[in-house]
């Protein structure tokens, strides 16, 4: 079975003591994850060492970065590279979140470079895609997302693409409390999988985990994750609340 993943995206939230309390309270519960289930915490870069040390010995729990620079090193003040993240224990890097595309002008071409940097050090990219409201209202979401995949990912080989995790996050559902229905999520996740099948073949497409993101919470996680092509979630607001994220982890299939 392909990987089922509950990924927390803390975004730019929490002070150090709050971060530590949240992780410790979350980890106090028993989870008994199956071998195909993973929990990932995309924390602000400054909390990565704290998160890595808190998760020591916790099988299938990982710390992720929320972004990285496309170059490995150099004169890029304020930036952090993929090899730097790997050197402190990061195994996953989120790329192309809609907030980075919108507020930091990240293009598909730039994301393609970042992907190469992440794959070169054997880390797992969590590649985000998803349409704004106007595109959904026009009914063009499939074409919009397909273009993001083609421009950002389709330069990768079959061996590389199976290492990528996709997060489909409709922008109109992020932080709005408005979730895609489980039918809407399933429909576009299945479409995304057909795009991979057309390019790389069905066997490869079946191996790729596709997470849903956008107002995932305890109350809707089980129904969303039960969809055949929804392989878990990338969770913002609800990942900052212990009881919510705990239930979301338990909703993994």
Residue ranges binding ligand 13P (CB under 6 A): 9, 97, 169, 174-175, 213-216, 234-238
The number of angstroms, rounded, from the C-alpha of 140 to the middle of its chain's C-alpha atoms is 23
Q: Is the dihedral of CA 151, 101, 16, 241 positive or negative?
A: negative
Is-contact 232 7, C-beta < 8 A? yes
| Residue 182, C-beta contacts closer than 8 angstroms, at least 6 positions apart | 220, 223, 224, 226, 227, 230
Query: Among all residues, which ones are annotated catalytic?
Result: 97, 169
Residue placing its CB nearer to ligand 13P in the complex, 39 or 216? 216
Q: State in angstroms the smallest separation of the CB of 72 from ligand 13P.
A: 25
Residue placing its CB nearer to ligand 13P in the complex, 70 or 179? 179
Q: State in angstroms the smallest separation of the CB of 43 from ligand 13P.
A: 13
Q: State in angstroms the smallest separation of the CB of 132 from ligand 13P.
A: 13
Q: State in angstroms the smallest separation of the CB of 38 from ligand 13P.
A: 16
Residue number with the smallest Cβ distance to ligand 13P: 236
Task: Output the CA–CA distances (angstroms, integers) from residue 121 to 81, 82, 84, in the order listed.
Answer: 11, 7, 10
Q: State in angstroms the smallest separation of the CB of 56 from ligand 13P.
A: 25
Q: State in angstroms the smallest separation of the CB of 189 from ligand 13P.
A: 16
Task: Output the CA–CA distances (angstroms, integers) from residue 141 to 39, 124, 136, 175, 187, in the order listed.
Answer: 28, 26, 5, 19, 11
Residue placing its CB nearer to ligand 13P in the complex, 82 or 238? 238
Give the helix ranges, DSSP H, for the chain. Answer: 16-27, 48-54, 82-87, 98-103, 108-120, 133-137, 141-153, 158-161, 182-200, 202-207, 218-225, 242-250
Residue placing its CB nearer to ligand 13P in the complex, 67 or 205? 67
Residue placing its CB nearer to ligand 13P in the complex, 165 or 205? 165
Task: Output the CA–CA distances (angstroms, integers) from residue 129 to 11, 34, 107, 155, in the order listed.
Answer: 17, 27, 12, 16
What is the distance in angstroms between the CA of the first residue and the CA of the last residue of the chain?
Answer: 10
Task: Output the CA–CA distances (angstroms, integers) from residue 169 to 110, 172, 236, in the order listed.
Answer: 19, 9, 11
Residue placing its CB nearer to ligand 13P in the complex, 10 or 85? 10
């Amino acid at each position: 079975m392909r990987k089922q993943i509950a990924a927390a995206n803390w975004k730019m939230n929490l002070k150090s003591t709050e971060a530590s309390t949240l992780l410790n309270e979350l980890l106090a519960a028993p989870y008994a994850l199956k071998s195909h289930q993973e929990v990932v915490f995309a924390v602000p870069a400054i909390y990565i060492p704290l998160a890595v040390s808190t998760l020591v010995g916790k099988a299938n729990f990982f710390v992720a970065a929320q972004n990285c620079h496309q170059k490995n090193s150099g004169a890029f003040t304020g930036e952090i590279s993929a090899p730097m993240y790997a050197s402190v224990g990061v195994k996953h890097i989120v790329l192309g979140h809609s907030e980075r595309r919108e507020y930091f002008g990240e293009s598909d071409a730039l994301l393609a470079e970042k992907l190469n940097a992440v794959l070169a050090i054997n880390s797992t990219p969590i590649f985000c895609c998803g349409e704004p409201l106007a595109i959904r209202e026009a009914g063009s979401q499939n074409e919009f997302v397909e273009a993001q995949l083609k421009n950002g990912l389709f330069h990768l080989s079959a061996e590389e693409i199976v290492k990528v995790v996709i997060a489909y996050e409709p922008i109109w559902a992020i932080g709005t409390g408005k979730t895609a229905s489980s039918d809407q999520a399933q429909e576009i996740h299945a479409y995304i999988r057909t795009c991979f099948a057309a390019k790389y073949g069905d066997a490869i497409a079946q191996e790729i985990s596709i997470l849903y993101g956008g107002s995932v919470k305890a109350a809707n996680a089980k129904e969303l994750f039960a969809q055949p092509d929804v392989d878990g979630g990338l969770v913002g607001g609800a990942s900052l609340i212990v009881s919510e994220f705990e239930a979301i982890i338990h909703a993994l299939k």
